[in-house]
């Protein structure tokens, strides 16, 4: 069971930084796109969503890593799902208690963290064969990598779609008087795919080894 994963860096520092950049869950592994489409219209819900996913990935990584040697291989997915679901319900209740407005905005997408591929992916790929501390750092890193992309996308969508940032108006009134209009396309989901595509484009052109060979 205790095999060393040679693909991922072993150094803890790298465990955190790699998912922010080279092994980013959204733009390199292309996971969690669905929630990125849904919650990135404004910065605030995007931030809360990113935080929730980070907490869920990090905690479930620790728990699974602790019991990784006792889980029977055949039912590991069910065990993982139970743990993720428990954590997600806890998060959902916390959000409802403290930030009710945002929780309403996020609606079903908090519950859907259970099926977020990033969480399951990290459990399967990392927590099942690494020690708890490393698994925790890996979870934090992947959550942050996911959050980073979410925030970049939400920044552009809110700025161009509503003219606000974090609900504060940043496009001055004089712009609107001069004929500027908010771009309705940025509020629609397709624009997220285009923005993510552009981020991938920029990212790949900086890391040419990631470009797929044809």
Partner 1 sequence: MLKSYLNKIKPYFQKGGRLHALKSTFEAFESFLYVPDHVTQKGAHIRDAIDCKRSMIMVVIALLPALFFGMWNVGYQHYLSFDTTVGFWDTFFYGFMQVSPILVVSYVVGLTIEFTVAQLRGHQVNEGFLVTGLLIPLICPPDIPLWMVACATAFAVVIGKEVFGGTGMNVWNPALLARAFLFFAYPSQMSGDKIWIAYKSDAFSGATPLSEIANDQVFDATMLNDMFYGYIPGCIGETSKLAIIIGAVILLWTGIASFRIMFSTIIGGLLMGFIFNIFGGSNAYMQISPYQHLLMGGFLFGAVFMATDPVTAAQTRNGKYIYGLLIGMIAVLIRVLNPAYLEGMMLAILLMNTFAPLIDYCFVEQNKKRRLKRASNSTPETI
Give the interface with partner 1 as residue ranges (CB under 8 A). Answer: 179-181, 183-186, 188, 194, 197, 201
Nearest-approach distance from CB 170 to partner 1, in angstroms: 18
If the CB atoms of residues 11 and 205 are measured against partner 1, the closer one turns out to be 205
If the CB atoms of residues 19 and 161 are measured against partner 1, the closer one turns out to be 161
If the CB atoms of residues 71 and 160 are measured against partner 1, the closer one turns out to be 160
Nearest-approach distance from CB 210 to partner 1, in angstroms: 17
Helices assigned H by DSSP within the chain? 12-17, 33-39, 43-66, 76-98, 100-106, 108-111, 117-125, 132-162, 173-177, 190-206
Nearest-approach distance from CB 92 to partner 1, in angstroms: 33
Longest distance between any two alpha carbons in the chain, whole Å: 66
Residues 159-190: b if buried by 16+ CB within 10 A, e if exposed: bbbbbebeeeeeeeeeeeeeeeeebeebeeee
Integer Cα distance of 88 and 55 in angstroms: 9
Nearest-approach distance from CB 69 to partner 1, in angstroms: 48
If the CB atoms of residues 2 and 181 are measured against partner 1, the closer one turns out to be 181
Integer Cα distance of 60 and 64 in angstroms: 6
If the CB atoms of residues 146 and 186 are measured against partner 1, the closer one turns out to be 186
Strand (E) or helix (H) holding 165: strand 164-165
Nearest-approach distance from CB 33 to partner 1, in angstroms: 18
């Amino acid at each position: 069971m205790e095999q060393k994963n040679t693909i991922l860096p072993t150094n803890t520092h790298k465990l955190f930084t790699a998912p922010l950049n080279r092994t980013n869950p959204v733009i390199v592994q292309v996971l969690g796109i669905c929630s990125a489409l849904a919650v990135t219209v404004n910065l605030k819900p995007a931030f809360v969503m990113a935080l929730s996913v980070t907490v869920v990935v990090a905690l479930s990584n620790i728990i699974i890593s602790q019991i990784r040697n006792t889980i029977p291989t055949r039912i590991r997915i069910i065990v993982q799902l139970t743990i993720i679901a428990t954590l997600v319900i806890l998060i959902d209740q916390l959000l409802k208690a403290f930030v009710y407005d945002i929780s309403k905005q996020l609606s079903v997408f908090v519950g859907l963290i259970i099926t977020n591929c990033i969480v399951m992916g990290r459990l399967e790929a990392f927590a099942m064969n690494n020690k708890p501390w490393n698994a925790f750092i890996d979870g934090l890193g992947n959550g942050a990598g996911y959050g980073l992309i979410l925030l970049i996308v939400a920044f552009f969508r809110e700025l161009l779609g509503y003219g606000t940032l974090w609900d504060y108006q940043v496009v001055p009134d004089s712009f609107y008087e001069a004929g500027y209009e908010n771009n309705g396309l940025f509020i629609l989901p397709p624009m997220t795919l285009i923005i993510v595509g552009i981020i991938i484009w920029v990212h790949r052109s900086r890391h040419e080894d990631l470009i797929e060979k044809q």
